Amino acid sequence: MLEGLMIGLSAAFSIQNLLMVVAGCLIGTFIGMLPGLGPMSIIAIMIPVAITIGDPSAAIILLAGVYYGAIFGGSTSSILLNAPGVAGTVATSFDGYPMARKGQAGKALTVAAIASFCGGTIGAVLLMVFAPMLSTVALLFHSAEYFALMVVGLSAIAAFAGTGNVAKAIVMTLLGLIMATVGEGALFNMPRFTMGLMDLQSGFSFITLAMAMFALPEALFLVLNPARSAQGGEGGKIENLRITREEGRKIAPVIGRQSVQGFFIGVLPGAGATIASFLGYAVERNIASKEEQEQFGKGAIKGLAAPETANNAACTGSFVPLLTLGIPGSGTTAILLGALIALNVTPGPRLMIDNPQIFWAVIVSMYIGNLVLLILNLPLIPCIAKILAIPRNYLIPFILFFTLMGSYIGQNNATELLILVGMGICATILRFADYPLAPLLIGFILGGMLEDNFSRSMQLYDGVGFIVDRPMTLGLLVIAILLVIVPSYRARRAKARAKGIADGD
């Protein structure tokens, strides 16, 4: 392993390659900030550039830099504007945006940068150590387990909602799943629920829905109630970047746990970073103390660190199946696979033997990429956070414009913009009625995969037999049910006990 590391170091530490990392991180961060352009599209855009370089190690180092930069850039738009452009950063906005509104935008960005750095770096160490072993574990997961894993993810989300809101959260999740069934599914090749409209043929787009659920209602709220923007605005201490020692102590264990958990979820091919960030958030919320649980969703530093660490660790983890099996686990790694093949490198079990310099260059570039990202971005944070200091009269039209652009660029279809406005209005009404919007989006993101895996297991087992036949599936499903039932049962018992005391007096 050490020998390999040396090969990687010698490959990565040339002037050219270091420049590649820096350039990639910068490009990724800035383009990633635009909602609507996630890592996947940015990497796709950068592929022609990477291929013209010619040297496969340099190309993949550039692309890895872009990848990390884009993930960090995506977190900034969720933190500052509540406009997550990528599914993996949706959980970041749960606590990141409230922090920014409390005037702690600088601190939130710093925590995000540090959490991403740790997640990515620890992930890279784990990748180096476990890559060969993990590829066999990833193969143990069949579609039945993926289905169960996603059900666990969804019920964990519904369980966040807290007492009194579980039914609402479940309804929203189900609505998200329903919206995901619109359009043509991969398995059946027939349009469903499109009502004959051509524009719905390919279903709703994720970006449009994310913008409509988060950014648009938020902007409308800012317009409706000017006092709201003043809450964090003028007093917004951008200088307040430092994390206190106490806060550091608080997030250190979170980062440690989530790096490992995120990495192992990321290894499973599927919705790596997204599931990892949601599960990370849910797990940390559930094991936090009672007072801290109250803080989640209102700007808890732990709630920000957990998903940020987990999604970066998972991104690193998603390289395991790519590099060892040649199976891309996510859209982004699929594009990277395409780039590698175009450069005449075939990832797979033979990669480590045939092209060790590439395998190790990737790993070393991960370390360097994370480090460069941290060094580049910490000084940039004050400038980025200044976005919030732009006068309201300018900021709000620009937020609205970027939501519109985000959904237009993806689809190049003006009808998408009308759908965006319509859904934005519905989302605002739902927010008035105190329905949580995040579960809807999560249901929508996981819906397609959930149904595909469910259908595949049904076909394999010719019925619902897979639930009983596969112990791991059954176990995961039991966990899912417990996640929903236990909190409301506990709440009911607590209430009954409280009532009992009151009666006793």
411, 108 in Cβ contact below 8 A?
A: no
- Residues 128 and 356: beta-carbon distance below 8 Å: no
End-to-end CA distance of the chain: give it in Å, rounded.
69
Identified binder of other proteins from the candidate list 115, 156, 325, 430, rule CB under 8 A: 430
Tell me how crowded residue 388 is: count the other CB atoms within 10 A of its CB: 20
Element (H, E) at 384: helix 356-385
Can you give 109-141 as a three-state secondary structure string? HHHHHHHHHHHHHHHHHHHHHHHHHHHHHHHHC
Minimum distance from residue 398 beta carbon to other proteins (Å): 7
Residue from 7, 125, 175, 342 binding other proteins (CB under 8 A): 175
Contact (Cβ atoms closer than 8 angstroms) between residue 269 and residue 319: no
Neighbouring CB atoms inside 10 A of 422's CB total 11
Query: Is position 174 an interface residue for other proteins (rule: CB under 8 A)?
Result: yes
- Asked if 95 touches other proteins (CB under 8 A), the answer is no
Stretch that binds other proteins, among 90-98, 177-185, 304-312, 470-478 (CB under 8 A): 177-185
Contact between 496 and other proteins per CB under 8 A: no
If you count them, how many residues does the chain have? 505
* Least distance between other proteins and beta carbon 233 (Å): 14
Nearest by Cα to 179 from 194, 165, 169 = 194
Q: How many CB atoms lie within 10 A of CB 158?
A: 26
The residue (of 109 and 430) whose beta carbon lies closer to other proteins is 430
Candidates 4-12, 171-179, 331-339, 467-475; binding stretch for other proteins (CB under 8 A): 171-179
32-51 residues in contact with other proteins (CB under 8 A) are 37, 45
Interface residue with other proteins, options 429, 478, 481, 485 (CB under 8 A): 429
Query: In angstroms, what is the minimal distance from the CB of 475 to other proteins?
Result: 21
80: number of Cβ within 10 Å: 23
Contact between 295 and other proteins (CB under 8 A)? no
Distance in Å, CB of 225 to other proteins, minimum: 5
CA separation for the pair 240, 233 (Å, rounded): 14
191 - beta bridge partners?
A: 184
Tell me: does residue 498 bind other proteins (CB under 8 A): no
Query: Residues 146-165: x/- map of binding to other proteins (CB under 8 A)?
Result: -----------------xxx
Q: Looking at residues 352 to 411 of the shown chain, list those that interact with other proteins (rule: CB under 8 A).
A: 391-394, 396-398, 400-401, 404-405, 408-409
Closest-CA residue to 309 (of 254, 249, 389): 254
Of 365, 294, 341, 400, which is closest to residue 61 (Cα–Cα)? 365
Q: Which of 6, 463, 468, 486 binds other proteins (CB under 8 A)?
A: 463
| Binding flags for other proteins, 315-334, as an x/- string (CB under 8 A) | --------------------
Q: How many CA atoms are closer than 13 Å to the CA of 504, on its beta-carbon side?
A: 6
CA angle 327, 329, 333 (to 5 degrees): 85
How many chain residues interact with other proteins (CB under 8 A)?
67
Interface with other proteins (CB under 8 A):
31, 37, 45, 163-168, 170-171, 174-175, 177-178, 181, 185, 188, 190, 192-193, 219-221, 223-226, 228, 391-394, 396-398, 400-401, 404-405, 408-409, 412, 414-415, 417-418, 420-421, 424-425, 429-430, 432-435, 451, 454-455, 458-459, 461-463, 488, 491
